[in-house]
Chains A and B, each alone.
Chain A
Amino acid sequence: MEIPYGVKERPDTGLNNAKLGIWLFLASEVMLFGGLFSAYIFLRTGVDDWPMGSKYLDVKMATLNTLFLITSSVTMVMSWASLKLNDFKKFKLYAGSTLLLACGFLVIKYFEYSSKFSYSYYPSTDNFLGIYFTMTGLHVIHVIGGIAVIAFLLFPGAKMWETDPERFTSRIEVTGLYWHFVDLVWIFLFPVLYLL
Chain B
Amino acid sequence: MSDNHTKETFFTKYIWSIDHKVIGIQYGITALLWLLVGFGLMMVMRYQLAYPDTQIPFIGWIFGEDKLLLPEKYNSLGAMHGTIMIFLGVVPLAFGAFGNYLVPLQIGAIDMAFPRLNAASYWTYFLGSIIMVVGFFVPGGAANSGWTSYPPLADVATAGQTVWLLGMVMLITSSLLGSVNIMVTVIQLRAEGMTWFRLPIFVWTQFITAFLLLLAFPPLEAAGILQLMDRLAGTSFFLPTGLVVSGEVLTNAGGGSPLLWQHLFWFLAHPEVYVLILPAFGIISEIIANNTRKPLSGYKSLVYAMTFLGFMSFVVWAHHMYLTGMGTTMGAFFQTTTMIISIPSVVILTALLLSLWGGSIRFNTPMLFALAFLPMFGIGGLTGLPLGLAAADIHLHDTYYVIGHFHYVVAPGTLFALFAGVYFWFPKVTGKSLNESLGKLHFYFSFIFMNGVFMPMFIQGLAGVSRRLADGGQAYAHAADVIYLNEIMSWSAWLLGMAQLFFIANVVLTLFKARTGEINPWNATTIDWTETSSPPLGHGNFEKIPVVYRGPYEYSVPGSKIDFTPQTEKG
Contact = CB atoms under 8 A, between A and B. Distances in A.
Direct A–B contact in complex, judged by CB atoms less than 8 Å apart: yes
Interface of A: 1-6, 10, 13, 15-17, 20-21, 24-25, 27-29, 31-36, 38-39, 42-43, 46-47, 122-127, 130-131, 133-134, 138
Contacts of B183: 20, 24
29 contacts: A1-B4, A1-B539, A3-B189, A10-B188, A15-B187, A15-B188, A20-B184, A21-B113, A27-B215, A28-B179, A28-B214, A28-B215, A28-B218, A35-B218, A35-B267, A38-B263, A38-B264, A47-B255, A122-B233, A123-B229, A123-B235, A124-B252, A126-B253, A130-B229, A130-B235, A130-B236, A134-B226, A134-B229, A138-B225
A181 B257 CA distance: 30
B189 A4 contact: yes
Contacts of B110: 1, 3
B255 A127 contact: yes
B239 to A, nearest CB: 9
B218 A122 contact: no
Interface in B117-158: none
A13 B184 CA distance: 11
A127 B253 contact: yes
B113 A36 contact: no
Contacts of B217: 28, 31
A3 B267 CA distance: 35
B111 interface: yes
B234 interface: yes
Given A13-B188, A123-B229, A123-B234, A42 B257 contact: yes
B260 A43 contact: yes
B222 interface: yes
Contacts of A20: 183-184, 187-188
B218 to A, nearest CB: 4
A32 B218 contact: yes
B113 A3 contact: yes
A123 B252 CA distance: 11
A70 B233 CA distance: 31
Given A35-B221, A39-B222, 7 more contacts: A3-B109, A21-B181, A28-B215, A35-B219, A42-B257, A47-B255, A134-B229
A63 B454 CA distance: 60
B521 interface: no
Contacts of B226: 36, 39, 134
B208 interface: no
A39 B255 contact: no
Interface residues of B, number: 48
Contact of B114 (A17, A27, A35, A131): A17
B540 interface: yes
A43 B214 CA distance: 25
B184 A17 contact: yes
B188 A130 contact: no
B176 interface: yes
A146 B113 CA distance: 23
B218 A17 contact: no
Interface in B241-280: 252-253, 255-257, 259-260, 263-264, 267
Counting from the closest, the 8 A-B pairs by CB-CB distance are A35-B222, A124-B234, A35-B219, A130-B235, A32-B218, A31-B218, A1-B540, A17-B113
A25 B219 contact: no
B222 A36 contact: yes
Nearest to B222: A35
B1 A3 contact: yes
Interface in B165-195: 176, 179-181, 183-184, 187-189
B115 interface: yes
A120 to B, nearest CB: 13
Contacts of A25: 176, 180
Nearest to A19: B184
Q: Could you say which of B114, B176, B218, B220 has the most chain A C-beta atoms within 10 Å of its C-beta?
A: B218
Q: Could you say which of A35, A127, A134 has the most chain B C-beta atoms within 10 Å of its C-beta?
A: A35
Nearest to A46: B257
Contacts of B50: none
Q: Could you say which of B188, B189, B214, B219 has the most chain A C-beta atoms within 10 Å of its C-beta?
A: B188
B233 A124 contact: yes
Nearest to B175: A28
B324 interface: no
A17 B1 CA distance: 13
Interface string B289-315: 000000000000000000000000000
Interface in B25-76: none
Nearest to B110: A1
Nearest to B545: A1
B329 interface: no
A43 B255 contact: yes
A135 to B, nearest CB: 10
Contacts of A27: 214-215
B237 interface: yes
B223 interface: yes
Given A32-B218, A35-B222, A122-B234, A5 B188 contact: yes
A38 B264 CA distance: 9
Contacts of A126: 236, 253, 255
A148 B24 CA distance: 30
